[in-house]
Amino acid sequence: MSTNFYFRPREGREKIHIGKSSQGLVFALRIHPDLGIHSLEDWQKFWQDGDIIDEYGISESAEGLESHIERRSGGKQHVGLGERAYPSVDGKVTLINREFC
């Protein structure tokens, strides 16, 4: 089972894919270099200016999502996603620089 999470900016822009939580795997964190998002720390700065929702439209707090990511940090890294997917320095997430769901 997996769940996608999105950031909905307050400024009215379209929602932005944060990443995906999949059972047994670390959180797959979507990076957006064009928006200056290269890491979980960059995302944490963004979350102050909008809302986090899951694919079912349920709101999640920044603290709740961070806790969820932390709980997933003991899982396996994502593999088979090509050269645009790699583990973060601390191994807590797989950083993915391409569209996925």
Report the pLDDT value the prediction gives residue 84, as an integer from 0 to 100: 67
Phi, psi for residue 77 in degrees, rounded to 5: -75, 155
DSSP label of 81: S
Per-residue confidence band for 12, with pLDDT thresholds at 50, 70 and 90: confident
Over residues 52-85, the pLDDT tens digits come to 999 999 999 999 999 988 888 777 776 655 566 6
Q: How far apart are CA 43 and CA 65, in angstroms?
A: 11
The whole-model pTM stands at: 0.84
Burial state string for 84-93 with b = 16 or more CB within 10 A and e = fewer than 16: ebeebeeebb
Say if strands 50-54 and 2-9 run parallel, antiparallel, or are unpaired: antiparallel
pLDDT given at position 22: 85
Of 32, 55, 60, residue with least CA distance to 40? 32
What average pLDDT does this structure show over 31-47? 91
